[in-house]
A = this chain, B = another copy of it.
Amino acid sequence: MTEQVFEICPIGVVRSTIKRRGDGPKQGREGAPDAWLEIEDDVADGIEGISPGDSVIVITWLHLARRDELKVHPRGDTAKPLTGVFDTRSPDRPNPIGLHRVVVREIAGRRLRVGPLEAIDGTPIVDIKPALDGCDDA
C-alpha cells in the first residue's frame, strides 16, 4: 500500500443489542435490529437536517476485522472458492470500512435510532450521508 496514511476520528458509536461478532446477520436486511447512533458532542451540529423517515448511509469502522486478509470464502462458506476481498462484503479487508443503508426512526438530541443495522455494539461511526434517490445509490 502507499506510505500515505490518513487518520479517521470516529464521530460516534453504535449502541446495539448485538454484542458479539457473529451474533448479528451479515446484512441489515437479513433480520438485523434497530440500533442507536450516539454522535459525539463536538460534531453533533453535523446531524442538523436529518429527520425521521430519512434513508441514510452509515459508514462504520469494523474495529474487530482482520486487516491482513486479501482473499476470503464469501460469507464464510468454505464451499465457495477463495475470492479477493474487494469482490466481497467481508469485514476482513485492508481498510475495514462498513457501509449500512438504514432508515432513521427517531432522533433524541444527538442520538439517532436507525435500522435495520447489523453492526455490533461499540462499532465506531465514521460518517453519515443521505442516501441518493434511485437504484444507482452509492
Give the interface of A toward B (CB within 8 A): 1-2, 4-13, 27, 29, 40, 42-43, 45-50, 54, 56-57, 59, 61, 63, 70-71, 83-89, 93-95, 97, 99-101, 124, 126-130, 132, 134-138
Residues of B within 8 A of A7 (CB): 5-8
Q: Are A1 and B86 in contact (CB under 8 A)?
A: no
Does more than half of chain A's interface fall in helix, strand or loop, or is it mixed?
A: mixed
**Do A101 and B48 touch (CB < 8 A)?**
no
Asked if A2 contacts B6 (CB within 8 A), the reply is no
The answer to whether A86 touches B137, judged by C-beta atoms less than 8 angstroms apart, is no
B95–A11 touching, CB < 8 Å: yes
Instruction: State whether A84 touches B2 (Cβ < 8 A).
Output: no
CB-based contact B86/A47 at 8 Å? yes
A5:B8 contact, CB within 8 angstroms: yes
Q: With A and B bound together, what is the CA distance between A100 and B70 in angstroms?
A: 22
Nearest B residue to A124, CB-CB: B4
Q: Which residues of B contact A57 (CB under 8 A)?
A: 99, 138
Closest 4 CB pairs of A and B: A49-B87, A48-B84, A99-B138, A86-B128
Contact B84 A127 (CB under 8 A): no
Contact B50 A124 (CB under 8 A): no
Residue of B nearest to A13 (CB): B2
